[in-house]
A and B are shown apart, each in its own frame.
Chain A
Amino acid sequence: MHTVLSVDAMDLLWMIATVLFLYSSLSFLWKAFDCRRNQNCYLFDYVCYKPSDDRKLSTELCSDVIKRNKRLSMPDYKFLLKVVVNSGISEETYGPRSIIEGREESPTLDDCDDEVDDCMYSTLDELFHRTGISPGDVDVLVVNISMFAPAPSLTSRIVNRYKMREDVKTFNLSGMGSSASPIAIDLVNNVFETRKRTLAVVITSESIAPNWYCGTDKSMMLGNCLFRSGGCSFMLTNDPSLKHRAKMRLKCLVRAHSGANDDAYSCAMQNEDTDGRVGFHLSKSLPKVAVRAFTENLQALAPKVLPVGELALYVIRGLRHRLRRSKETKAYAGTAVRVNFKSGVEHFCLHTGGAAVIDAVGSALGLNKYDVEPARMTLHRWGNTSASSLWYVLGYMEAKKRLRRKDRVLMLSFGAGFKCNSCLWEVLRDLEDGGAWEDCIQAYPPQSLVNPFMDKFGWVNEA
């Protein structure tokens, strides 16, 4: 009797121990899985800024604005107009009111505030409306506007306007250049990994009104010709329950900062010229610096993005190249081994720094005309809108109905510092919103990108 009882008791104890053990391991596994679920960063939606039509900057208007600067001589005027005419920028881009109304040399704080407020509020209003999310549900708010940082910060301005919660985490990034969109995404992604079911809103734009250069240093006048008004607000979340409504999922993000190199640090820099006027200096070594930063980024990005097959091919091609070079040095010196990024990425959002930049990056990645079309068209329609340009390029792709489920999108941008940042997204469902391109997408791509005023201003291209 005693032994039977003790056997039963032993079995019972054994069962309890097993059950407890299974329970603990299952809950541990669930916790690990749950963490993984929350580590996904989804792009819920994005809204690109479309300024009102009275802010369009035509070539004629640009010419007038340049002429207003009495300090410029005829060669300077010719140089600037040449830049504008050959930039690949259309008559439809936008500028700040202070410049259009003739106050470019003495913008007031109100002008700067108005420019930024118009962009932030109109995009945020639409973003909240489209997503149906209320501002009180926002947990993280990031603003990045490189060249304007008033006090209280722009994040506080938004918290005030939309009456956000007291425990909202705000971050106001500034001075980080045209490449700040991936930086803001990196910040939000990090916060997502420490908290569950979090909603983040990011606003990216640039401030032109207070940064108009009114001197005569050529390297600083380029900024005046190329930068245009633009911006974007986008919403990110790590809440798995919102996945079915989200547009894309972040797969990886790579940041490369070549600021340790002195040339890189000083090639795009805000400075005073010899007369004491502040302007944005773009040096001649910019292309070389950009290439170096780009290479560094790609070296880190390639293993994360490309399929194993392509990487293996790259290694083999590299070895063959090395062997050939050691045998016939002259013939192969200077040629680089190409990697076919199209094996791992379907769509490329390239930073619209300028026509030359787009072409150079495109050829380095092995892209054809179809692949660089979104970037060229964005440059044409919106100009160089700095950090938000990637989102206009994405908007073009979406309006053209190119983005299908499971496609991969690579965003690549450059910025002062000198940085090259990139991020890879996976499209979660077929996307069809027209967004800011809604009213003009049918006209793209146009027959010709040549400036319609080439006849009138073509003389600037002659000797």
Chain B
Amino acid sequence: MPAVPLPEFPMWAKFGYRFIVNNFVTLFLVGSMTAVGWELLQLGPDDIMALWRSLQEKPIETLSAVFLVAFVAALYFMSRPRPVYLVDYACFKPPSTCRVPFATFMEHTRLINSDKKSVQFQTRILERSGLGEETCLPPANHYIPPNPTMEASRAEAQLVIFSAIDDLMKKTGLRPKDIDVLVVNCSLFSPTPSLSAMIINKYKLRSNVRSFNLSGMGCSAGLISIDLARDLLLVHPRANALVVSTEIITPNFYAGNQRSMLLPNCLFRMGAAAILLSNRRREAGRAKYRLAHVVRTHKGADDRAYRCVYEEEDAEGHSGISLSKDLMAIAGEALKSNITTMGPLVLPMSEQLLFALNLVGRKLINPEWKPYIPDFKQAFDHFCIHAGGRAVIDELQKSLQLSAEHVEASRMTLHRFGNTSSSSLWYELNYIESKGRMRRGNRVWQIGFGSGFKCNSAVWKCLRTIKGPVDGPWTDCIDRYPVDIPEIVKL
């Protein structure tokens, strides 16, 4: 039986409803204060003096009342959790010598891979990928065949991570001895000593720095690191946390011919981001964002979801990451679960009320009513969707009913930088800032997907309007964007 569609209301009615419900408390307070003020104005000066004298006669009561109000207010403020500020962040800007235009990629592929069908397959992927001509691969991948030694992997890690951290230190004036917490996430390269130890060694961090190195956690690991840093900052007062998100490409070139494993070669590119979080009160003045929520959803209990991004060896013993055909469907389901938890935390009262009424209606009145999908555009001003691939962005645009401008940051990041895995969310955020769209009070929703299968979200609130020009990886090319990305680029 077809679902009964919800009635369409005129624009002014929708606006009026949202305004009244979302600002209910403010309206109530303003209303009551106006009423009291009006009453006071009616009183003559004698009445006011009488009122004042009666208060003076009962000093204990007045004092207790005042004290009580002050005490309750103090309790309220003290019990609120420490805010976590994002002071600033920096993204790695790859040098143009590492550029991999389509022609280079295809030529290398033809020379490395003798199987014509594999080459054709990769060509087709690249044509439809949404990537541009300026994405970059690390130096080791420019060799024919690529040279994935541990030394080369460490060199790539040092290049991307140290550049990002140097940049961040210059922007924020952060000194190495001020770093209390260090969280590093890199999924596919995990040497011993860890990348966190490498950073401690290079920048001579303190010996009691709390470092954690997360690995294997996929493209959504950036938000897992933020979650961990946040937990640490909630517990340790006056602390700075440095979060480094990256993916090291060098050791992960797939040298075989299995199609499901060739996709990462075409899409993954070099990138890294370094983020400074702090809970120090004095950073509130210059911090860009405040972390409002982090919601993590793990669908690993479902076998299909668990296997959809999987590292395995093909028949010839080459290891690579296999992507299943169910990826889009699974991403959609993971997102739905994440939204279910996220919704009540971020949606304005108007949307929650509508959703609740719809739910009640469907249960009690008529089960054929179409389920109401809350409008997340009411809750957020900007969206940073992990630039996993064109299909992921299309899917999310459809399911969240977003406009082209909302997903512009994701599409353009995919075009300019490729899929940089966990750091892509920060390139997208930088795009929005570079375009001068970030205003004080704006809320940003970062959504990451990754192997496991996980869907993680973070919600940030912008603390100050960010004026251009913004120093970052988009500085020299932001004026060229947005570009029109054709469905297929003929190669």
Residues of A within 8 A of B (CB): 10, 13-14, 17-18, 20-21, 24, 28, 31, 108-110, 146-147, 149-157, 159-160, 163-177, 183, 186-187, 190-191, 193-194, 255-262, 264-265, 268-272, 276, 278, 280, 296, 300, 416-419
Contact = CB atoms under 8 A, between A and B. Distances in A.
A167 B296 contact: yes
Contacts of B224: 170-171
Interface in B295-310: 296-303, 306, 309-310
A156 B224 CA distance: 13
7 contacts: A14-B60, A21-B67, A146-B192, A177-B194, A190-B232, A271-B151, A416-B197
B231 A257 contact: no
A153 B299 contact: no
Given A21-B67, A24-B71, A159-B300, A191 B231 contact: yes
Contacts of B187: 149, 151, 153
A416 B301 contact: no
Contact of A153 (B194, B211, B217, B234): B217
A150 B298 contact: no
Q: Majority SS of interface residues in chain B? A: mixed
B300 A160 contact: yes
Contact of B193 (A171, A260, A416): A416
Contacts of B217: 153, 155, 170, 172
B201 interface: yes
Contact of A258 (B192, B207, B297): B207
B208 interface: yes
Nearest to B225: A171
The residue among B190, B198, B234 with the most chain A CB atoms within 10 A of its own CB is B190
Interface in B189-229: 190-198, 200-201, 203-218, 224, 227-228
Interface stretch (B29-37, B278-286, B313-321): B313-321
Interface in B165-205: 187-188, 190-198, 200-201, 203-205
B236 to A, nearest CB: 8
Contact of B235 (A20, A159, A194, A255): A194
Given A166-B298, A167-B297, A257-B197, A152 B451 contact: yes
B212 A175 contact: no
Interface string B223-252: 010011001101100000000000000000
Interface in B436-489: 451-454
A278 B453 CA distance: 31
Interface in B33-69: 58, 60-61, 64-65, 67-68
Q: 5 closest A-B pairs (Cβ-Cβ)? A: A175-B194, A153-B216, A17-B64, A159-B300, A174-B215
Contact of B195 (A175, A177, A256): A175
The residue among A176, A268, A269 with the most chain B CB atoms within 10 A of its own CB is A176
A143 to B, nearest CB: 9
A21 B311 contact: no
B312 interface: yes
Contact of A21 (B71, B151, B321): B71
Interface in B61-117: 61, 64-65, 67-68, 71-72, 75, 79
A272 B61 CA distance: 79
A271 B150 contact: yes
Given A14-B61, A24-B75, A159-B452, A177 B193 contact: yes
Contacts of B190: 147, 149, 174-175
B337 interface: yes
Contacts of A260: 200-201, 203-207
Interface string B317-341: 1010100000000000000010001
B401 interface: no
A153 B451 contact: yes
